[in-house]
Amino acid sequence: MKILTIETTCDETAAAVITDELDVLSSVVASQEELHQRFAGVVPEIAARAHLERCLPVIHEAIHKANIELSDIDAVAVAHMPGLAGSLLVGVTAAKTLAWLLDRPLIGINHLQGHIYACQVAFKKPIFPCIGLIISGGHSTIYHCRSPFDFDPLGGTIDDAAGESFDKVASMLGLPYPGGPSLSKCALNGDPKAFAFPRPFLNDSSRLDFSFSGLKTAVRYEIAGPGAVDFKSLIIDDQRKADIAASFEQAVVDCLVGKTMLAMQKTAIPRVCVGGGVAANRRFREALENRIAEEGGELLIAPMHLCTDNAVLGAIAIEKIKAGQVDDLSLDAVPGLIRS
User: Does 134 appear as a known binding residue?
Assistant: yes
User: Does 136 appear as a known binding residue?
Assistant: yes
Listed residue (161, 175, 224) closest to 40, CA to CA: 175
Strands 106-110 and 75-81: parallel
Whole-number Å distance between alpha carbons of 214 and 200: 8
Those residues whose C-beta lies under 8 Å from the C-beta of residue 96, and which sit 6 or more positions away, are 78, 106, 329, 331
User: Does 115 appear as a known binding residue?
Assistant: yes
Whole-number Å distance between alpha carbons of 158 and 108: 27
User: Does 180 appear as a known binding residue?
Assistant: yes
Whole-number Å distance between alpha carbons of 18 and 38: 35
Whole-number Å distance between alpha carbons of 201 and 199: 7
- Report the C-alpha dihedral over residues 111, 260, 123, 76, rounded to 10 degrees: -10
Contact 307, 166 (CB under 8 A): no
Strands 106-110 and 130-135: unpaired
Q: Percent helix, strand, coil in the chain (nearest 5)?
A: 45, 20, 35
User: Does 137 appear as a known binding residue?
Assistant: yes
Annotated binding site for Fe cation: 111, 115, 309
Annotated binding site: 111, 115, 134-138, 167, 180, 281, 309
Annotated binding site for substrate: 134-138, 167, 180, 281
